[in-house]
Chain A
Amino acid sequence: MAMREIRSALITNNPVTQQILGICSALAVSTSVATALTMSMALTAVLCTSNVIISSIRHHIPPSIRLIVQITIIASLVIVTDQILQAYAFELSRQLSIFVGLIVTNCLVLGRAEAFASRNPVGPSAIDGLANALGYSLILLLVGTVREVLGQGTWFAMTVFPLASNGGWFEPIGLMTLAPSAYFVIGFLIWAIRSKRRDLVERTGYGLRREELSDD
């Protein structure tokens, strides 16, 4: 069960490419693989613990205040994670700057809390959190790899393509270090996945019928 969950969240139900969640942080922190990895670990920690905590008190969260209870728990976990990073991974926390704090607004975390953890037992919720966090991490690391290799000629700060400015041949693509390129890379990923797996293409949900389209 666990393996199937995880495999499904990696490709067929990937939170980024299929559910299109957590996009804004994906573009902000994927300029290099190192920041993408730290962000992935921070998000995995937050998503798993928030799913476990929310699932374990799910019978006692009054529906009228459920969102605010969930977001309070998530925000507290994020602050603690941020504090730990600032204490023990200072350089990386500098590079991630405000984006760790923005995990709070990452729709993936609240989305999983609301859609899964608030209705299911602790065990499956933990697996759901882990699976979705891994799916997010996979995309983040892929995007980070593409952007760092093409934008800076390095991978984890190790030289892949020697730069022209250092006597090599590679002219880095400046666009790759800018935020929009993350959208391009994610867009290409989605296109690649969906042209390989036709069953993942969404049907048009709420399109107007032909007769509704005519003006007169």
Chain B
Amino acid sequence: MQERKYQSPGFLARSNDDPAKVFGVAISVALTCSLLVSGATAYLRPVQEANLAAEREARMAAMVDAVPGLRDIIAESGADGLETRMVDLSTGQFVPGAETAGFDYDAAASSEDIATTIPGDRDLARLRTRPSQIPVNIVEKDGELLLVVLPMRGRGYQSVISAVMALESDLTTVAALRILEQAETAGLGARIETPEWQASWVGKQVAGTDGTIMIDVVRGGASTSFEVDGISGATVTSQGVANMVRYWLGDHGFGPFIERLRAEGG
């Protein structure tokens, strides 16, 4: 309808079999539609991003609530109870004075100067690159570590899963696992988001006494404290979560950081 304005009056009078008219109509429909789509997307982007940010925050808050007594600890130790600090993954050291607010994982993982390429044989989570520095959350009381919250990413069946895992002060017991974002198959892989499945991680041990990563997702009948039951019908997604956890807790992920915390006595 809109092309009427932009074309000379003679154009519409042409036969519909005229190649000029065919091309003209095709181009004006394509232009009008692309303007409509890009206009709507650009106009609505801020509202959508606010929604996503609110959702991330709500899930972070839900994770804090999931750990018994954590709210009280944070309330007791003041507003800074949940402290965010930047970690250099290769050294495991905190980066002093690094800006953590507004950290954008995707931008950091794709930028050439701050991303690290993950060697193919160690890329369990199938991410190819990761940021070299990542902010983690830490809960301390009187200088003693109570909880460390590690962000994680990993490829599932059809999407990149984003999650956080909270470890207790022994650095091997899972306090909570929360899936923050995923777009797996609705009804199957998407069930990694259910509270029931996330709760099945609580209390599991991620590493043996010698520090090797032992945690895994198994098919039916998890029997040891290192095993979590997979979701039936969603083997690839469940395994994706397991690989994500194993990668990020391993040497190429937060391994050096966890090692350092343990060496320094928490």
Chain B residues with Cβ below 8 Å from A61 are 16, 25
B55→A90 contact, CB < 8 A: yes
Cβ contact of B29, chosen from A73, A83, A84, A98, cutoff 8 A? A73
Given A60-B16, A68-B26, 13 more contacts at CB 8 Å?
A28-B186, A56-B1, A60-B21, A64-B22, A65-B25, A72-B30, A79-B37, A79-B41, A80-B40, A86-B48, A90-B48, A90-B51, A177-B187
Question: Which B positions have Cβ atoms within 8 angstroms of A?
Answer: 1, 3, 12, 16-17, 21-22, 25-26, 29-30, 33-34, 36-37, 40-41, 44, 47-48, 51, 55, 183, 186-187
In this complex, the member of A60, A97, A98 whose beta carbon has the largest number of chain B beta carbons within 10 angstroms is A60
Chain B residues with Cβ below 8 Å from A76 are 33-34, 36-37
Question: Which A positions have Cβ atoms within 8 angstroms of B?
Answer: 28, 53, 56-57, 59-65, 68-69, 72-73, 75-76, 79-80, 83-84, 86-88, 90, 97-98, 177-179
A60→B48 contact, CB < 8 A: no
Shortest beta-carbon distance from A36 to chain B in Å: 14
Shortest beta-carbon distance from A109 to chain B in Å: 15
Instruction: Considering the complex, give the chain A residue whose CB is closest to the CB of B7.
Output: A60
A83→B48 contact, CB < 8 A: yes
Chain A residues with Cβ below 8 Å from B26 are 65, 68-69
Chain A residues with Cβ below 8 Å from B55 are 90
The 5 A-B residue pairs with the shortest CB-CB distance, nearest first, are: A76-B33, A87-B47, A90-B51, A87-B44, A62-B16
Question: What separation, in Å, do the CA atoms of A170 and B48 have in the docked complex?
Answer: 39
Shortest beta-carbon distance from B40 to chain A in Å: 4
Shortest beta-carbon distance from A117 to chain B in Å: 13
**A61-B16, A65-B25, A73-B33 given as contacts; is B41 within 8 A of A97 (CB)?**
no
Chain A residues with Cβ below 8 Å from B186 are 28, 97-98
Chain B residues with Cβ below 8 Å from A86 are 44, 48, 51
Chain A residues with Cβ below 8 Å from B187 are 177-179
A57→B1 contact, CB < 8 A: yes
A83→B41 contact, CB < 8 A: yes
Instruction: Considering the complex, give the chain A residue whose CB is closest to the CB of B16.
Output: A62
List 25 interface pairs A-B (beta carbons < 8 Å), by A numbering: A57-B1, A60-B25, A62-B21, A63-B16, A65-B25, A65-B26, A69-B25, A72-B30, A72-B33, A76-B34, A76-B36, A79-B41, A80-B36, A80-B40, A83-B44, A83-B48, A84-B44, A86-B44, A86-B48, A86-B51, A87-B44, A87-B48, A97-B183, A98-B186, A179-B187
A83→B30 contact, CB < 8 A: no
Shortest beta-carbon distance from A95 to chain B in Å: 8
